[in-house]
Amino acid sequence: MALLDDLASALGEALAPLARPAVLHRAGSGGFADLAIRAQPDLAGAGTEGAAPGREIRALVPIAAPFVLPTTDDEMTLGGIRYRIAAVEADATGAYAVLRGHAL
């Protein structure tokens, strides 16, 4: 199992340079703590519409250890737009997380 974990971490690190800089705002008792991440908007699922308030975004976030998956209490800023995370999924290989969010 450790070999699979190492492989997933290596894939996450390999995919990270392909993604854009982003900020994950982790919710905590004292507010939000910012964490620099990389994320790639899933343009295939977004169509040609821009992210207007109330619109959903789907972003792929490479997972490199020691990354803890976000929760629906967290928010993310990508491309200057802040999104409230509505759903979080990890792909089957554990190489990236799929975040769905709504523009604030």
Domain boundaries, position 89: 2-103
Distance between CA atoms of residues 104 and 101, nearest Å? 9
Residue 60 is part of a domain; what is its CATH number? 2.40.10
* Residue-averaged pLDDT of the chain: 79
| CB distance 90 to 97 below 8 Å | yes
pLDDT for residue 83 is more than 70: yes
How many domains would you assign to the chain? 1
Burial of 62 (0-12, 13-18, 19+ CB in 10 A): buried
User: pLDDT digit string (tens) for 50-82?
Assistant: 545 458 889 988 887 667 889 999 999 998 999
pTM, two decimals, is: 0.72
How far lies 27's CA from each of 12, 30, 31, 75, 80, in Å?
Answer: 24, 8, 6, 8, 19
pLDDT for residue 8 is more than 70: no
Q: Token pair for residue 6?
A: 């190492």
